[in-house]
């Protein structure tokens, strides 16, 4: 028996991808409530809950460390939502959304260590 394909979202071509889509790894994770994030947002994981929020350099809950990049828009203003995130990809720096206090330079090494390469 063949597994049925499941639609997870709609892809609209943009400038986020910098390399081949053959070298991309995507998983579904929980985006914490109170946020409306766009594709390309650099997110960090809250240590206590394991949920993701926009990474800000001054945070002290674990999310200050860039951990992944959001693959799709996620509106979690009304509650936690699942969203697809890149765990491995080659991405254009100019298409990323950075949280307060972060620069492309400040996120580069943390994301590179996770196989997300910023070009």
User: Which pTM was predicted?
Assistant: 0.87
Q: Characterise 62 by phi-psi region: left (phi > 0), alpha (psi -120 to 50), beta (else).
A: left
Looking only at the bridges linking them, the beta strands covering 116-118 and 52-54 are: unpaired
Tell me the average confidence (pLDDT) per consecutive run of 10 residues in the chain, 119 residues long: 59 77 90 97 98 98 98 97 96 96 97 95
Domain boundaries, given as residue ranges, for the chain: 23-118
pLDDT for the residue 22? 76
pLDDT tens, position by position, 92-119: 999 999 999 999 999 999 999 999 999 9
Give kind and range of the element (H or E) at residue 111.
helix 104-112
Token pair listed for 105: 């330079």
pLDDT for the residue 10? 63
Among the listed residues 90, 107, 89, the one whose alpha carbon sits nearest the alpha carbon of residue 98: 107
**For residue 68, what are the β-bridge partners?**
43
Task: Tell me the three state secondary structure of residue 9.
Answer: coil
pLDDT for the residue 106? 96
Yes or no: domain 23-118 corresponds to CATH 2.40.300.10: yes
């Amino acid at each position: 028996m063949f597994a049925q394909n499941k639609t997870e979202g709609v892809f609209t071509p943009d400038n986020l991808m910098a390399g081949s889509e053959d070298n991309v790894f995507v998983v579904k994770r929980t985006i914490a409530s109170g946020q409306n994030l766009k594709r390309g947002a650099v997110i960090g994981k809250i240590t206590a809950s394991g949920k993701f929020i926009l990474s800000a350099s001054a945070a002290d809950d674990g999310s200050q460390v860039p951990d992944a990049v959001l693959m799709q828009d996620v509106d979690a203003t009304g509650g936690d939502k699942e969203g697809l995130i890149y765990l491995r990809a080659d991405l254009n720096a100019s298409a990323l959304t950075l949280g307060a206090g972060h620069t492309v330079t400040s996120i580069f090494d943390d994301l590179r260590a996770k196989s997300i390469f910023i070009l």
